[in-house]
Amino acid sequence: MEPLPSPPETDAPVTGAPGAPARARPGARQPHRLQGALFQPIGDEGRAEMVERRLVDAINRGHLRAGERLPSESELARSFGVAPVTVREALLAVRGRGLIVTRRGRNGGSFVVDDADPLAFARAAVMKSSRLALRDMGAHYAAITAAAVRLAARRADESETRTVRRRLERIDELDPEQQRRLLDDVQVELASLSQSARLTREQMKLQAEFSPYLRLVAPDHDGLRRQADSIRAIIDAVENADPDAAGRRCEQMVTDVIDALIELQTAAPR
């Protein structure tokens, strides 16, 4: 699961990016960039169970949304680097879990069920995790993200930083779901300013994993606004070429998220 990030201003995957689903037909909805992280070649692990796990993760983490049409079997097979029969077996298993339905006809295909709930997935994951595991998850995310933004503060051109800032300024024009996706995208774009392909790929993977927890602690406008303010402060530090401040602000943002998850865990009825 290692794509490079796509250019700003679109949710479409990078044209020609390795492992990206085939170009959508005109008028079709373009996949979100983090969805692309879940459709990368499996290689030697090309088993139906691995494809099933990727698809289940994509649905549970909200990168395939309720009612959304999955790529065709041939597109999935090409993206994952497996045989179509392997994809067919995996889709059968995902249907058995009650996460997708198949519709026949001209506009048919496999669709995510209407009641798919990534927040329920994130909440259940938090409830069954120890505090140590939650803090370890945060430490991993913070280590990669802070390293990327520190490098960005040293390497980014001012015009590149302004482009990311303009993306974030659009947030009030969007609905809550679009706001969440924009915040994810901006975080990946900040990492890409590090000019490190490895860090950017790792950031994209971690963002896909961490995004449901960000949603859980920011379920409303006020929460999204606080997260946007935290990212804006990181952008300020990168723009000011201050790597230490960029790293500190990033680490504080992650600490706040993990503390909020632990608070939710503590407040839950036993």
CATH class of residue range 33-116: mainly alpha
Q: Please give the chain's pLDDT, 270 residues, in tens.
A: 344 344 334 343 333 333 443 444 444 455 455 555 556 555 544 478 889 888 988 887 788 889 999 999 999 999 988 999 999 999 998 998 889 999 988 888 999 998 888 888 889 889 999 999 999 999 999 999 999 999 999 999 999 999 999 999 999 999 988 899 899 999 999 999 999 999 998 998 888 889 889 999 999 999 999 999 999 999 999 999 999 999 999 999 999 999 999 999 999 886
Domains 33-116 and 119-267 share a fold: no
The architecture (CATH level 2) of 119-267 comes to Up-down Bundle (1.20)
* Burial of 103: CB neighbours in 10 Å, binned 0-12, 13-18, 19+: exposed
Model pLDDT, residue 209: 84
pLDDT tens digits, one per residue of 202-241: 998 888 889 889 999 999 999 999 999 999 999 999 999 9
73 neighbors 90 (Cβ within 8 angstroms): no
228 neighbors 143 (Cβ within 8 angstroms): no
Give which of 206, 196, 207 is closest to 148, Cα–Cα: 196
Domain ranges of the chain: 33-116, 119-267
